[in-house]
Structure 1
Amino acid sequence: MVSKDNGTFLTVAEVAELMRVSKMTVYRLVHSGDLPAVRVGRSFRVHQQAVEEYLGSSVYSADKTG
């Protein structure tokens, strides 16, 4: 079953710009499985929600003790 609202799929370049990293970093995240992507021909598309979830789970809190 296909949902009517599939959301937005972003190119690697768009993901890199959104995350403020290089395209190579995005490719590494995709190939390592840390960032799920769909292969379309020879390129990848990443769901915008996957980017948001990745960034949300990657929040780092510095411990000031020690």
Structure 2
Amino acid sequence: MTTTAMEMAPLAEADQPAPVLLTVEEAARCLRIGRTTCYALIRTGELESLTIGGLRRVPIDAPAAYIARRRAGVRAA
């Protein structure tokens, strides 16, 4: 189980499938950042998100992908 999946496990009820999309607040909690900072990452395109109707959602793997890109950038510098 990945770190993201382990952290998000409490979001799913015992009889419900694991979520595939996170709210911005859930993504922010996963990254241990504030909601405003999370929206800023979305606005700049650093954190992937989708709009469904009028709702903004973050794919479950997007926070981990963001961290991987940041870590790769730090190693390259």
Please confirm whether the aligned pair reaches a TM-score higher than 0.5, indicating the same fold.
yes
Aligned length: 56
Q: Distance in 2 between matches of 1:43 and 1:30?
A: 13
Larger Cα Rg: Structure 1 or Structure 2? Answer: 1
* Structure 1: runs of 5 or more not aligned: 1-6, 62-66
Provide runs of 4+ in structure 1 moved above 6 Å: none
Percent identity (aligned): 29
Correspondent of 1:42 among 54, 57, 60: 54
Correspondent of 2:37 among 25, 35, 46: 25
SS of equivalent to 2:61: helix
CA RMSD, Structure 1 to Structure 2 (Å): 1.9
* Structure (1 or 2) with the greater helix fraction: 2
* Structure 1 residue 30: Cα displacement: 0.5
* Structure 2: runs of 5 or more not aligned: 1-18
Q: Distance in 1 between matches of 2:55 and 2:33?
A: 18
